[in-house]
A and B are shown apart, each in its own frame.
Chain A
């Protein structure tokens, strides 16, 4: 069984919600990311979402855009991130998913990427700019490599699209909790509740919500009717200030612990 599925089963058995934490690979540098990921699991993250930096992200706000620029400035590449992930796997068994603009893996070669990602121990991939209709060539390769393709459902998606999307989706459904970009508007609880209910009609997969969730209070509120929450920009913001590595890691982990506590009620 894939680490993601196992994690959600475990959480369900314990009556807990998944805390999914996004960090940009290579921000402030790759060594920090490598040391940070195992510590995130220790601090209470259930799944770590590794952001693959891209020059022109479609749906990211200024916080993640700038983080990507810092990482690219450090010479971060997909190959380097795969190697880092492999090293993390030697010390940690927590589920890791990549979030990446499709062009990077397309350029790397999807077949090669699937192989290398499997070797590095990547459990799932989110391509925010790849809808299932465009993923025809990608899905069989992911399946062969045992990597879950995680698709997005949006506030604008109707019942028919939700069905199409969830049929192709594995691991969990990523519900985009605001019609907007990352780190900007706050999600409206009632709207999220309604859409999540629609998603549940279409699939038995766990549903996690992300985009605009930045405080422990929000995480607790949204966690009540989802299977997990995804927090990104609020974490990445903590990577901005230039400071010693241990302070960066402690800062992020402190925030993750607060989110964990709030989610556990």
Chain B
């Protein structure tokens, strides 16, 4: 079944749209038009495919985690190894695509928001590769907890712009990037890093990230001669999850599970679970589930993983939740930390703390499934950036 969403207005059911200041509308229209042209352009596809293969190192393995599977004693667990991509996460799939679009639109500068720093690093790399000027907005709290990525961005020639307003995390970085874009839209393209924000971004980012699910679908059919029973991925804004889920949308028997940040508790401010515990509102250009207080002010969020520490979520995930196509669950900080250790020891693979949320959910559901059932989990990033943090946690124990 071919997916027809979003509609012309950029809606996925009741979610999405373009809630932006008029100043940006012409740029969004230009981007949408250019994207549709690029999609039909064989040269564009060839160039992107070449970079994905030769620069990023795709395709990424679909790896059967035998020891983890044995330990959990249930379904077979396959890891989609997005952590093996150049720059260490799935983010580069999107930044290369968008940077190429920026060149087509004759823009000379790109900007990005980043939480964990992975999208910032991937944008910095794409910008260096394609000769674009690059500024990355990052909350000062995140700069502190993901220091390594701050250095990486700077070494590749990007400027990291510290964001000190609000909660000094991903939400504020995105607000600040949006404000910059309003002022620089003539020569700047804003590379949004998730399937969030205003139309056409959720569609464009999804399409560039869909390479994850397309490969996984082909790989599992080659290895197991059948489709998986369950897909699991972490959801902040939701780009790695949508990238994995989307190509399986029409495969009704394949269940999908998005894992949100459960943080340290159920109360507003203690987690980042917009879909599980939020309500519908408008933030950063689109209508969707949000964490907000009783007056509609955006709530502060918490997660041990900077990449999931965000009060909103992409509109297509809202649609998947509403239509029942995917389920959304939460994993706490403590469970994610435990899963980080478990996967590291069982397989010699350190997941990013974001991805560790997905692994933790695998640990919950795999034992309850039959041994001939199959789970594919998106290992969206590698854990190098979190080593410092994990080491400190271990010392404090």
Contact = CB atoms under 8 A, between A and B. Distances in A.
Contact of A107 (B172, B182, B296): B296
B19 A176 contact: no
A60 B23 CA distance: 13
A129 B26 contact: no
B179 A156 contact: no
Contacts of B175: 56-58
B183 A55 contact: no
B281 A158 contact: no
Contact of B22 (A65, A108, A131): A131
Interface in A115-138: 128-131, 133-134
A59 B21 contact: yes
Nearest to A132: B22
A56 B283 contact: yes
Contacts of B26: 154, 156-158, 161
A151 interface: yes
A129 B296 contact: no
A107 B281 contact: yes
Given A56-B171, A103-B283, A108 B23 contact: no
A155 B186 CA distance: 11
For chain B, the bracket of interface size reads: 20 to 34
B165 interface: yes
Interface string A34-59: 00000000000000000000111111
B23 A65 contact: no
Contacts of B178: 58
A152 B21 contact: yes
Interface stretch (A87-95, A179-187, A242-250): A179-187
Contacts of B292: 103, 107
Interface in A60-103: 60-62, 65, 72, 77-79, 101-103
B297 interface: yes
A213 interface: no
Contact of A77 (B17, B171, B295): B295
Contacts of B19: 102, 129-131, 134
Contacts of B171: 56
B298 interface: yes
A176 B18 contact: no
A59 B18 contact: no
B9 interface: yes
Contact of A128 (B21, B166, B172, B183): B21
A131 B20 CA distance: 7
B24 to A, nearest CB: 8
Interface in A181-213: 181, 184-185
A139 interface: no
A176 B20 contact: no
A260 to B, nearest CB: 28
Contacts of B24: 156
B17 A184 contact: no
A45 B284 CA distance: 33
B21 A156 contact: no
A108 B23 CA distance: 26
A59 B284 CA distance: 11
A165 interface: yes
Contact of B186 (A60, A72, A108, A179): A179
Contacts of A101: 282
B23 A156 contact: yes
A133 B16 CA distance: 13
B20 A129 contact: yes
B20 A55 contact: no
Interface string A133-177: 110000000000000000111111110010001000000000010
B161 interface: no
A16 B340 CA distance: 68
A261 to B, nearest CB: 31
Contact of B296 (A103, A156, A157, A185): A103
B341 interface: no
Contacts of A11: none
A2 to B, nearest CB: 22
The 7 closest A-B pairs by CB, nearest first: A107-B296, A154-B23, A180-B183, A154-B22, A55-B297, A152-B22, A103-B282
27 contacts: A58-B175, A58-B178, A58-B182, A59-B179, A62-B165, A101-B282, A103-B290, A103-B292, A104-B295, A128-B21, A129-B19, A129-B20, A129-B21, A130-B19, A131-B25, A151-B22, A154-B22, A154-B23, A154-B26, A156-B24, A157-B22, A165-B22, A176-B21, A179-B182, A180-B182, A180-B183, A181-B183
Interface of A: 54-62, 65, 72, 77-79, 101-104, 106-108, 128-131, 133-134, 151-158, 161, 165, 176, 178-181, 184-185
Given A106-B281, A154-B21, 18 more contacts: A55-B166, A58-B21, A58-B178, A102-B282, A103-B290, A103-B296, A107-B295, A129-B282, A131-B18, A131-B20, A131-B22, A134-B18, A153-B22, A154-B26, A156-B26, A179-B185, A180-B23, A181-B183
